[in-house]
Homo-oligomer: A and B are copies of this chain.
């Protein structure tokens, strides 16, 4: 009994089966050089028949392009990184680029380990993503010979970065509330040492004008509760709208308001930030919130890397991508 040959078919097999030389087979398959239409078709047919698939390693060795990129992320794939990864992958898969996912877990040793592995594998480029804008990317990245793109992170000058436009997102929220006739809008948000927190707060202050009031805290529902309890237990005029720094805070705010008998959105309108659906769809009422379009950020980063690996130029600097307001019922919008 003859053992079945389980080896992968090589271009050598194709050439032999088609009765041509290896180089002719290669030319035919890649449409390079001059090849008789007839032979070309025969070669292509044979290749399909015997299930030939070119070895990407051999190709990469020769072309010095691996058609793979690395995605380096500082966290264990939080809710920010993943939508971005989806966007990256979506853009690249149809161009034959694969993605190595490297979670560094904020550990510099791991980061270097992954980075070296990526370079050894001759990746055509690297996308660095982080969980907050003001996290310093590894300095080595800037010195690499291959293209690097920063997503949700800021690279050094002359590099390419994609950000959500936090200021525009905040304005979107405030203008929406103003348009609904709200006039005493409070901002309850996260820790002041986050860059996005400061940007959003500043845009809120500018957009709302006199009477703006920012409460910094942490990213938790509990903080939303606390803040509401504090604000509504003090004397004086009460707010008629709350713009929250993220959806978790917004959820705490909404729950706290209900607890003290205030109706959302009739008495107080609430807007969140993130559109993290497990929260924003489940608040009662569902939450109007600002979506940072993370997937789009990923897409843009992927596209940029794609262009760069093809030798095209991509403008350097920070590109701020617009946020989108997702209107649900917590502001008095239509039921839906």
Chain A residues within CB distance 8 Å of chain B: 6, 8, 53-58, 60-61, 66, 68, 71, 76-77, 82-83, 85-86, 89, 93-94, 96, 98-103, 105, 110, 113-114, 116-122, 145, 220-222, 248, 251-252, 255, 276, 278-279, 282, 284
Contacts and interface: CB of A to CB of B under 8 A. Distances in A.
Nearest to A122: B57
A71 to B, nearest CB: 8
Contact of A77 (B58, B86, B96, B284): B86
A8 B278 CA distance: 47
Nearest to A76: B86
Contacts of A278: 248, 276, 278-279
B98 A117 contact: yes
In the A-B complex, the 8 residue pairs with the smallest Cβ-Cβ separation, listed nearest first, are A101-B101, A77-B82, A56-B120, A56-B121, A76-B86, A221-B282, A57-B61, A57-B60
Contact of A110 (B60, B66, B93): B93
Given A98-B121, A101-B89, A282 B248 contact: yes
B57 A86 contact: no
A121 B86 contact: no
11 contacts: A6-B145, A8-B145, A68-B100, A77-B77, A77-B83, A89-B101, A93-B102, A98-B118, A99-B100, A99-B102, A248-B282
Nearest to A276: B278
A176 to B, nearest CB: 25
A56 to B, nearest CB: 4
B113 A93 contact: yes
A276 B98 CA distance: 30
Contacts of A121: 56-57, 68, 98
Nearest to A63: B57
Contact of A93 (B54, B89, B114): B114
A223 B329 CA distance: 19
